[in-house]
Amino acid sequence: MKVTFRIPGPLLSFTGGRKVVEAEAASADTVQEALDQLWRLYPGLRDRVLTEQGQVRQHVNVFVGADSIRDTGGLSTPVRDHAEIAIIPAVSGGS
């Protein structure tokens, strides 16, 4: 199956400047599994998006289509073929 990832500007240094990354996976039933494919391609992204405990950072949002995974089951959110996953910094911008 195929998943398309959208990468935010501050993280482009970890993808060689690619704003859109497409990943093929034999199986990626959940956001967690889809993101694992992304980390394999661009390992530097993982620690930016997840804490060392494997949770999405507090001020990072992950969307599948138009839905934030915070509302749809977190990293266990189901992913369908040709899904688009966007990683977007929260609007909370620091002090």
Partner 1 sequence: MVDVRHVSPKGGDALVMVGTMKGAFLFRSDESRRTWQRGGPYFPGNAVYAMAYDDRAGRRRLWAAPESFHFGAVIRSSDDFGKTWSDGETANVRFPEDTGASLKRVWQIAPARAEEPGVLYAGVEPAALFESRDGGQKWSLVRGLWDHPHRPQWQPGGGGMCLHTVLLDPTRRERIHVAVSTAGVYRTDDGGRSWRTAHKGVRAQFLPDKYPEFGQCVHKIARHPARPDRIYLQNHWGLYRTDDAGDSWTDVANGVPSDFGFGMAVHPHDPDTAYIVPLESDEFRCTPEGRLRVYRTRDAGKSWQPMTRGLPQKDALETVLRDALTTDRFEKAGVYFGTRSGKLFASRDSGTSWTQLADGLPPIVCVKTAAVSKAKATGKGKGKAR
Cα 15 to the chain's mean position, in Å? 13
65 binds partner 1 (CB under 8 A): no
CB of 10 to partner 1, least distance (A): 7
Binding segment for partner 1 among 16-24, 27-35, 40-48, 67-75 (CB under 8 A)?
A: 40-48
Distance in angstroms (rounded) separating the CA atoms of residues 52 and 57: 10
Nearer to partner 1, 20 or 90 (CB): 90
Residue from 9, 16, 17, 92 in contact with partner 1 (CB under 8 A): 92
Binding segment for partner 1 among 8-16, 25-33, 64-72, 74-82 (CB under 8 A)?
A: 8-16
Distance in angstroms (rounded) separating the CA atoms of residues 68 and 74: 8
Handedness of CA 85, 37, 56, 76 (dihedral sign): positive
Residue from 23, 34, 49, 69 in contact with partner 1 (CB under 8 A): 49
Tell me the backbone φ, ψ of residue 13, rounded to 5 degrees: -65, -20
